[in-house]
Structure 1
């Protein structure tokens, strides 16, 4: 699954277009490398999102095309 879609499905970022822009601006890193929106997310990847002063760091636990709002947080594990 593309990283922009994964960020939307997990609700780490509300809209896919916003996730796409964040990737274009170099604010999304996976395993320490800046990635494009087309990056293919794999289990156990470490995703770091820089949003202003905040940095969100999570580990990918599972990948799913569709999840309910209450189950979205089960797809990742917060690291910071």
Structure 2
């Protein structure tokens, strides 16, 4: 599954266009490597996303083309959440 689609479907990022922009800005990594919006996401991958002053790392648990809001959190496991203080 494409990275931008995964971020939207899992609701880590609300809109696919925003997910694409964040990836284009170099603020998303897959297994420690820079990721483009078209990068392929697989089960078991670790995604790190820079949200302003916060860096979130999750492990991909499942891939589904669409999901209900209640089920979106089952698509990933939160591994780390770090605040970037200056």
Larger Rg: 2
Aligned twin of 1:45: 45
Give the Å deviation of 1:27.
0.1
**1:11 aligned counterpart, secondary structure:** coil
TM-score (norm 1): 0.98
Give the Å deviation of 1:74.
0.3
TM-score (norm 2): 0.92
Distance 1:40 1:28 in 2: 13
Distance 1:32 1:40 in 2: 14
Distance 1:30 1:10 in 2: 15
Q: CA RMSD of the aligned region, Å?
A: 0.4
Aligned residues: 80
Aligned twin of 1:34: 34
**1:42 aligned counterpart, secondary structure:** coil
Q: Which residues of structure 2 form unaligned runs of 5+?
A: 81-86
Runs of 4+ aligned residues of structure 1 deviating over 3 Å after TM superposition are none
Q: Which residues of structure 1 form unaligned runs of 5+?
A: none
Aligned twin of 1:76: 76
Q: Does 1:58 align with 2:58?
A: yes
